[in-house]
Amino acid sequence: MPFSSSAHFRRFHAANPCASHQHAPVPPYRRFSSSHDDLPPLRDEDIVRVAKEPQHQLRLADLVRNGWPPLGEKALLQSANFSLELIPVRLARRLQALRNLPYIVVSNSHIRQIYRNYRHSLRTLLPWWRRRAKGAITTLEEEIAFTDVLAELVATHQNTIPILAQGFLESRKYIAPADVTTFLDEHLRARIGTRLIAEQHIALHLSSQPFGQGLPPSGQTNTQAETNALAAAAVVSNDTNMAPPTSEASSYIGIIDTQLRPARTIDSCADFVADICELKYGVRPQWRIDGEPDTTFAYVPMHLEYIVTELLKNAFRAVVENKMHREPVVITIAPEPSGGNSDDSAATTTSSGGNNILPLDDNAAGVTIRIRDRGGGICPDVLPNIWSYSFTTFSDYDDLPAGSSPGGGSVDVSDGLNIIASSNNGGSSIAGLGYGLPLSRAYAEYFGGGIAVQSLYGWGTDVYLRLKGVGNIE
């Protein structure tokens, strides 16, 4: 077995690079037993009405404000109602943005599928949303049913990115690249938020059932509500990294790891990307971590994993293509000190339930990670395009399905290119979608971080990834 990763690990990543492989597997959540036949249809005026509500900006601190799981009944209901407050507005606004695309673009079968997914999800949430003035989720039974709706939402939107990529690729004659980038930037950022809110509640739900004890061992007699919760504890989705609902997960609040150690994430993602290189190019690039590898901070591991995987794919591909793979890619971890002069330093407590104090004292407020490769840098002609969705200089047509033909790199690829098929064929590719940099930046910026690329053309590239942890958010 030439590779260090298990088949499970590989499958997990192939399905979604955002998948976590660091922590114990979480019971997947799948129930979705409720029928949708009895749901009222979604009318245009519903969409308009929901979209008009103010959209609260999501902060990392919002996601931990109900404290450590297992949550008590009140905190769990609060978390559910908070999710309900935030998600439908986001869905309705995305529906409007999709409708505002040129008609011929929305008519594309892939874009239409995404549109239908949004309609469906809003329709399932609308009955809850309508009741929210009176308190929509007031009992544990309701909370279980609502969590089920959220789990279905997460599953419905699971495969969005390759579908959208395919849709825009097929529609590229009818919409300017800059408009695609604007739409996708907004759309994918909104998707990050919606998923986070839903996944956070589902994770809190799973780690709080039954209250105070974590999930009971199977075979134990349960009340109907508990039985439902357990039945429910069966895929949020395979790109959902949730804390295992056991004591091993003591550093987790839902999907946030309050003691996330970037060095560990980097090693594991680098190992995975090196596997891809070994498969594809027959060489295994090296890497070295320096700086302060013991740094920890509070962050969403699946976001860090997504970003680091994409940045390392770029760095490893560059060193292999530049025949410099014997020079290690050097990853430097620099913590941003917490406390000190930061105005935000008081935010180490949760905003509700004052007894839930986050142990962030030893944590960095944020982290900067520099990835330095000797891959030859980025040509000045290419540099202005690297943040555009679907821009790529990768052109390995061996990887493409039959029927596609070389299009000369960049966005000019053949109509025969089937992104959805290639993203589902079980193999993670080193590059080619052109979404790595812009989407990584969207993830980093979501909580106030960023990504900067410095190219020393003819030599190599430095990528600076800056992330702000929860401790730095007021």
Instruction: List residues binding ligand ADP (CB under 6 A).
Output: 310, 314-315, 318, 373, 375, 378, 382, 386, 391-394, 431-434, 436-437, 461
Peptide bond before 28: cis, by omega within 30 degrees of 0? no
User: CB-wise, 136 or 312, nearer to ligand ADP?
Assistant: 312
Q: How far is the CB of 100 from Mg ion (least distance, A)?
A: 29
Closest distance to ligand ADP from the beta carbon of 389 (Å):
8
Considering the complex, what minimum distance in angstroms separates the CB of residue 455 from ligand ADP?
Answer: 7
Q: In terms of CB distance, is 128 or 316 closer to Mg ion?
A: 316
Q: Which region, judged by CB under 5 A, interacts with Mg ion, from 150-158, 342-350, 433-441, 453-461? A: 433-441
CB 427 → Mg ion: shortest distance, Å? 15
Kindly give the interhelix angle for 177-206 and 436-446, rounded to the nearest 10 degrees.
50
Per CB under 5 A, 438 contacts Mg ion: no
Among Mg ion, ligand ADP, none, residue 375 binds (CB under 5-8 Å by kind):
ligand ADP
With CB cut-offs between 5 and 8 Å by kind, which of Mg ion, ligand ADP, none does residue 394 bind?
A: ligand ADP
Query: 265 touches which of ligand ADP, Mg ion, none (CB within 5 to 8 A by kind)?
Result: none
From Mg ion, ligand ADP, none, interface partner of 148 (C-beta below 5 to 8 A by class) = none
Does a cis peptide bond (omega within 30 degrees of 0) precede residue 25?
no
In terms of CB distance, is 318 or 364 closer to ligand ADP?
Answer: 318
CB of 353 to ligand ADP, least distance (A): 41
Judged by beta carbon, residue 260 or residue 419, the one nearer ligand ADP is 419
Of the candidate spans 86-94, 154-162, 431-439, 466-474, the one that interacts with Mg ion by CB under 5 A turns out to be: 431-439
Residue 314 sits in the site that holds Mg ion (CB under 5 A):
yes
Query: Which partner in ligand ADP, Mg ion, none is near 71 (CB below 5 to 8 A by kind)?
Result: none
**Which residue sits closest to ligand ADP, CB atoms considered?**
436
Distance of closest approach, residue 426 Cβ to ligand ADP, in angstroms = 18
Candidate residues 67, 436, 449, 471; the one interacting with Mg ion per rule CB under 5 A: 436
Nearer residue to ligand ADP within complex by CB, 202 or 451: 451
Identity of the residue, 256 or 437, whose beta carbon is nearer to ligand ADP in the bound complex: 437
Partner in contact with 368, chosen from Mg ion, ligand ADP, none, beta carbon below 5 to 8 Å by kind: none
CB of 396 to Mg ion, least distance (A): 13
Sheet harboring 460-468: ordered strands across? 287-291, 329-336, 366-373, 460-468, 450-456
Q: Report whether 164 contacts 25 (CB < 8 A).
A: no
Closest separation between CB of residue 437 and ligand ADP, Å? 3
Distance of CA 230 to the CA centre of its chain: 25
Contacts of residue 277, defined as CB under 8 A and 6 or more positions apart, other chains included, come to 283, 284, 285, 316, 317, 320, 325, 430
| Least distance from ligand ADP to the Cβ atom of residue 248, Å | 34
User: With respect to Mg ion, which residue has the nearer C-beta, 105 or 266?
Assistant: 266
Supply 97's token pair: 């943005």
Q: Which CB sits closer to ligand ADP, 76 or 437?
A: 437
State the pairing for strand pair 252-253/256-260: antiparallel
Q: Would you count residue 318 as binding Mg ion (CB under 5 A)?
A: no
Taking the complex as a whole, the smallest distance from the CB of residue 11 to ligand ADP amounts, in Å, to 21
Report the distance separating Cα 118 and Cα 153, nearest Å: 9
- Segment contacting Mg ion by CB under 5 A, of 11-19, 141-149, 307-315, 450-458: 307-315
* Residue numbers 160-179 binding Mg ion by CB under 5 A: none
Q: For residue 318, how far is the Cα from the chain centroid?
A: 25
Residue selected from 431, 453, 463, 470 as contacting Mg ion according to rule CB under 5 A: 431
Binding footprint of Mg ion on the chain (CB under 5 A): 313-314, 431, 436
